Amino acid sequence: MSKKIMLITGGSRGIGAEIAKLAANHNYHVVINYTHSKDAANILVSDIQSQGGSAVAIQADCSKESEIERLFKEIDQIGTMDCLIANAGIIGGQNPISQTTEKQLKELFDINVIGLIICVREAVKRMSTELGGQGGKIVLMSSVAARTGGIAQEIHYASSKAAVDGFCLGLAKEVGNVGIRVNAVRPGLIGTSIHDLHGGMEVIQKWAAGVPMGRVGLPEEVAQTVLWLCSEASSYVHGALIDVSGGR
């Protein structure tokens, strides 16, 4: 396959879907990973193909090592991966620390941290020039919550994203000389369905008053940053934590 392959975990909706559409416009063959949202993933693939792009949807639960390994083996049958966008993640519910449970934390960290690291492991095994690969780019989806502590009743989510930031910095040091560039993007208040938990767009529009730019961000604004990080225009950007947060 002549097109570069980009895997987007949790790519069927929200920011992931916008990354997929923009990547297809930039001549990537996009692999849209999903866990439960089969219909949304297939609709997205159809939309991309109708615009002349190239995409496929592959189901895999990125909180489970065996399914992550299967996902990457299926991609091996397609071609050589150039970009991994580790986007899959959950908020993990809303509650104060006094009501936080072990089960809740395990579910949260299994996908936001452990699954993300396993995805990176599989990508590095294929990309590393030291291991016979051709290099590649990895973009980790963090959050501005990693440095602000997040919003009320979601500090568990903020802590999982802080772990992603630390992992990004360490990973950059480890793989920088084997042909792999790694960076993290930290979205702020972005208008996606993830905020249905908070009351939807009506509520987050009110929160926009606390953003220096005075508005909610768009998923495509995050996607543009991700695509820049995967391009040669950012060839010396490595180990960066890039906020897309309107100054928040």
* DSSP assignment of 81-118: EEEEEE----------GGG--HHHHHHHHIIIIIIHHH
Contact between 227 and 128 (Cβ < 8 Å): no
| pLDDT per residue as tens digits for the range 167-188 | 999 999 999 999 999 999 999 9
197 pLDDT tier (thresholds 50, 70, 90): low
What is the rounded average pLDDT for all residues in the chain?
A: 94
- With beta carbons less than 8 A apart as the criterion, state whether 172 and 239 touch: yes
Give per-residue burial for 46-75: e unless 16+ CB within 10 Å, then b: eebeeeebbbbbbbbbbbbbebbeebbeeb
Q: Which of 104-108, 122-126, 142-146, 189-193 is predicted least confidently?
A: 189-193
What is the average per-residue pLDDT within 200-216? Answer: 77
The CATH number of the domain covering residues in 4-243: 3.40.50.720
Residues in the chain: 248
Q: Are 209 and 153 in contact (CB under 8 A)?
A: no
Q: What is the DSSP string of 148-174?
A: H--STT-HHHHHHHHHHHHHHHHHHHH
Q: What's the mean pLDDT in 123-135?
A: 98
Q: What's the pLDDT tens digit per position in 67-110?
A: 999 999 999 999 999 999 999 999 999 999 999 999 999 999 99
Average pLDDT in the 121-136 region? 98
What pLDDT does 205 receive? 75
Could you report the per-residue pLDDT of 12-47, keeping only the tens digit for each? 999 999 999 999 999 999 999 999 999 999 999 999
Q: Report pLDDT for 74.
A: 98
**Ramachandran angles phi, psi of 17, nearest 5°:** -65, -40
Q: For 209-238, what is each residue's pLDDT tens digit?
A: 889 998 889 999 999 999 999 999 999 999
Per-residue confidence at 199, pLDDT binned at 50, 70, 90?
Answer: low
Amino acid letter, 23 = A
Give the active site residue among 28, 34, 157, 236.
Answer: 157
d(CA 239, CA 39): 35
Is it the case that residue 208 has pLDDT exceeding 90? no
Q: 180-187 and 54-59: which strand pairing? A: unpaired
Q: Where are the domains of the chain?
A: 4-243
The predicted structure's pLDDT at residue 206: 74
Task: Give this prediction's pTM.
Answer: 0.94
Whether 157 is catalytic: yes
193: pLDDT strictly greater than 70: no
pLDDT of residue 203: 66
